[in-house]
Structure 1
Amino acid sequence: MHKIVARNKQVHIVEEAIPKCKDNYILVKTMHSAISPGTELSMLESSKEEAFTMGYSAMGVVQAYGDGITDVQQGDLVACYGAPYVHHAEYLLVPRTLFTKVPANIDPKEAALAGLGAIAIHALRIANLQFGETLVVVGLGVLGQMVAKIANAAAYNVIVLDLSEERASMLKEPTIQSFSLTAEMEKEINKATNGHGADAVLLCAGGKRSSLTHESLNWIRNKGKVVIVGDLEPNFPRNLMFSKEAELLISRAGGPGRYDEVYESLAIDYPYEFIRWTEGRNIAEYIRLISEKRINVKPFVTDEINFFDAPVEYEKLKDKQSITLTKIINYKV
């Protein structure tokens, strides 16, 4: 089979053997996978001599399943998430905790975004907002826009900001207030909250030395929250944090279970009654949202590319002025 790897800041397509199925795992023949530009371009830029696989969000057809798998059959469509099990490759060996079945009414390309959906859902769970509260989303890449759409579906009061006017105008949701100028966004926050400030700010932007972590404290109410979702280096002045008794939170990937060898590699799920929302259950929740048409992610799946064209397409994504949110890789040759 073929897969996409990064080595020495370049993208390559390499060959390796198709993995063999084993207990508590399924073997998936990939139909589509989604490029996450923010994460993957950062990894690409830091890549060295040793190659590593790219990607973490995909969907495909179940080819085989091992003992312990009871919820899918051969030929079923599944969405899956989580490197190193899920990446841009023609076949994937996925533990039972990292996939969910895809209903027939879902566009397969939309299902390929399940990893991004799980990350967005987990970020909102970390914010722990209540019905009707005001949320500010900063950074409108694919993850920021996904967060905003899901928050809007949950009936939060959603205000979004991206310094790119093109990206700020992409969110065509009538109940989301979108801005490219910080001053205008601040006026809307004051208006929407009667001067109290937002209940939470989710920082979905990148940039190690960004001033956003500092500025965001001015936008929240007393005892408000700032959640770091993107690749930002925290820089919070103590005085402002102290005066507002603000909460600083970091959202790590798709939810409980991520990076836990017992949950992922050994495929042992957490008890439902103790950990309600694992990364696997967040994947399933994203699929429910698009199946029931609670959110519209069609604008994210318009840029479809052939698997073997991926190295060239990564080069195009390096253009910082591009408004491309993601590219969906098609494995049909």
Structure 2
Amino acid sequence: MPQTVKGVIARSAKAPVEVVDIVIPDPGPGEAVVAIQACGVCHTDLHYREGGINDDFPFLLGHEAAGVVEAVGEGVTHVQPGDFVVLNWRAVCGECRACRKGKPWYCFATHNATQKMTLTDGTELSPALGIGAFADKTLVAAGQCTKVDPDADPAAAGLLGCGIMAGFGAMVNTGGVTRGDSAAVIGCGGVGDAAIAGAQLAGASTIIAIDIDDRKLDQAKRFGATHTVNSAQQDPVAAVQELTGGNGADVVVDAVGRPETYRQAFEMRDLAGTVVLVGVPNPTATVELPLAEVFGRGGALKSSWYGDCLPERDFPMLVDLYRQGRFDLDGFVSERIGLGDVEAAFDKMNAGDVLRSVVVW
């Protein structure tokens, strides 16, 4: 039987979010219903509310989530009711050209639930990133459920579903940082701090945090930054070069995604160094680079999709590191809030007052 639960929707662009009744259908073939235990408030949810993703309103917001599988549909074997899972928004298909090449983290045909969740009047909802987890329960493709250690705190583990995995993976999976490397991160929100934590875990010797907010720079030290640079007060390129013996950093992660920050990332990398873009740019943004420098510096200019992660590989590994005290997921949880507090959490996010507000049930 379909269930009626509470959920947070964005009904129209820039309008305040609402807590309303939504209808969750029984899972069909390849689908699962998950009872949500915690869900982080991510910038992407705000982009949906603002109409910055598309105009498929109303949106059921929320996607950085952990919970317990309640029911599964026909053909689902890798998860079962009672499993504690982190939800992911790139359920790989296993059949596209990327998957056939053995690179499923680039899957070009990731899938979501086939059925639609609705309002009580039958209006179909568009779930954020195919998840829609600001709700008591949600319907997802079973492949979006990744089993992890059930002893993990859901508020911390759920953050792996988006921002933390994106930042960590940008540094480790895409950037390939390793022991003894120097690393620089531009933008020290949740994604940037996760990149810093990844650099520390991988053994980087010099880890430089760059931001215009001293509060964020202080937080970055908690996650492993060895040096901080306020780019509103000094030239970040010159500062990084000075901190790396005049050479530049081996890996630079741009977690902002603006033309000026990308140009800075390009200029502050070492010869044969790597630049990784993980901050989401404005669709109209362009960047101009000197082609001779692109050639002369060598190395690589990369973008990172979801931290180039494979959820079934990376989520359990990171939760294990968290449980061992080696990866500080708890440090990203700034506050625990209720379902009715999402709009206020957006305001705190915009003011830079939190890394992550997390809705808990």
Q: Normalising by the residue count of structure 2, what TM-score does the alignment of the two structures yield?
A: 0.76
Tell me: CA distance 1:227–1:234, structure 2 relative to 1, closer, same or farther (3 Å).
farther
User: How far did residue 246 of structure 1 move?
Assistant: 4.8
Name the residue aligned to 2:265: 216
Partner of residue 105, structure 1: 151
- Residues 8, 191 of structure 1: CA spacing in aligned structure 2 closer, same or farther, 3 A cutoff? closer
Q: 2:7 aligns with which of 3, 8, 17?
A: 3
The aligned residue for residue 230 of structure 1 is 279
Aligned to 2:326: 294
- Residue 19 of structure 1 contacts residue 92 of structure 1 at CA under 8 Å; is this kept in 2? no
CA distance in 2, matches of 1:218, 1:254: 22
* CA distance 1:12–1:174, shift in 2 (3 Å): closer
Aligned partners of 2:286, 2:251: CA distance in 1, in Å?
Answer: 16
Q: 1:128 to 1:174 in 2, by over 3 A?
A: closer
- Pairing 1:253–2:306 present: yes
**Could you say which residue in structure 2 is the equivalent of 1:244?**
297
Counterpart residue number, 2:337:
305
Please report how far the alpha carbon of residue 225 of structure 1 lies from its aligned counterpart in structure 2 after TM superposition. Answer: 1.8
Residue by residue over 1:276-328, the C-alpha shift from the partner in whole angstroms, topping out at 9 and shown as x without a partner, is x5244333333232122221122221311110222333244333xx3311110
Pick closer, same or farther for the CA change 1:283–1:103 going to 2, 3 Å. Answer: closer
> Which residues of structure 1 form unaligned runs of 5+?
256-276
- What corresponds to 1:197 in structure 2? 248
Among 52, 61, 67, the residue aligned to 1:60:
67
8 Å Cα contact 1:131/1:154 also seen in 2: yes
TM-score normalised per structure 1: 0.82
Task: Measure, in 2, the Cα distance between the counterparts of 1:254 and 1:160.
Answer: 19
The 10-residue stretch of structure 1 (289-298 or 26-35) with the greater mean CA deviation from structure 2: 289-298
Task: State the AA in 1 paired with 2:50.
Answer: E
Question: What are the Cα deviations for residues 2-43 of structure 1, in whole angstroms up to 9, with x where unaligned?
Answer: 222222212223322113123333211111101113x23233
Find the aligned partners of 2:350 and 2:222 in 1 and give their Cα distance. 28
1:191 offset after TM fit, Å? 5.2
SS, match of residue 81 in structure 2: coil
SS in 2 for 1:64: strand
**Quick one: distance in 2 between partners of 1:203 and 1:4?**
31
Report the residue type matching 1:21 in the other structure. Answer: P
**Closer, same or farther in 2 for the Cα pair 1:97/1:311, shift >3 Å?**
same
Which residue matches 2:133? 87
1:35 aligns with 2:67: no
Do the aligned partners of 1:35 and 1:328 also contact (CA within 8 Å) in 2? yes
Distance (whole Å) between structure 2 residues aligned to residue 222 and residue 234 of structure 1: 24
Per the TM alignment, residue 62 of structure 1 is displaced from its structure 2 partner at its CA by 1.6
Percent identity of equivalent pairs = 24
Whole-Å separation in 1 of the counterparts to 2:275 and 2:227: 19
8 Å contact 1:163–1:181 — kept in the other structure?
yes
**Residue 26 of structure 2 is aligned to residue 20 of structure 1:** yes
Three-state SS of the structure 2 residue aligned to 1:180 is strand
Whole-angstrom CA distance in 2 between matches of 1:133 and 1:231 = 25
| Unmatched 5+ stretches in structure 2 | 90-128
Structure 2 CA distance, aligned partners of 1:184 and 1:173? 23
- The two structures, once aligned, show a CA RMSD in angstroms of 2.5
Q: Deviations over 1:144-167 (max 9, x none)?
A: 111111221111232211110010
User: Which letter maps to 2:305?
Assistant: R
Partner of 1:119: 166
Cα distance in 2 for residues equivalent to 1:175 and 1:51: 40
